[in-house]
């Protein structure tokens, strides 16, 4: 459970913004969406490999610029 203490003089909007940021950083919503349907281990593995290849290509292009 996330707890946000509103500091004296702080607006509610600012506290809400901090709460939303903390919630997003916990990646709870991402987990809920992933569990909505089953994905095979091989598909997950393929997805991670593809993502790693994309990152490597992107970083390599950044070094060449």
pLDDT of residue 56: 96
Whether this prediction's pTM lies above 0.85 is answered by: no
Q: What single string gives the DSSP state of each residue in the chain?
A: ----PPPTT--HHHHHHHHHHHHHHHTHHHHHHHTTS---HHHHHHHHHHHHHHHHHHHHHHHH-
In angstroms, how far apart are the furthest CA atoms of the chain?
A: 52
Evaluate whether 12 touches 6 at the Cβ level (below 8 Å): yes
Q: Residue 7 domain-assigned?
A: no
pLDDT of residue 2: 84
Q: Residue 28 domain-assigned?
A: yes
Query: Quick check: 65 pLDDT over 90?
Result: no
Range of the domain at 34: 12-64
Interval 2-49: pLDDT, tens: 888 998 999 999 999 999 999 999 999 999 998 999 999 999 999 999
Q: Residue 56 domain-assigned?
A: yes
Interval 48-61: pLDDT, tens: 999 999 999 999 99
């Amino acid at each position: 459970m996330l707890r946000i203490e509103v500091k004296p003089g702080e607006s509610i909007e600012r506290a809400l913004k901090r709460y939303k940021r903390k919630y997003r950083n916990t990646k709870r919503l991402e987990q809920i969406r992933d569990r909505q349907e089953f994905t095979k281990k091989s598909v997950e593995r393929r997805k991670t490999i593809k993502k790693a290849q994309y990152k490597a290509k992107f970083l390599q292009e950044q070094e060449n610029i």
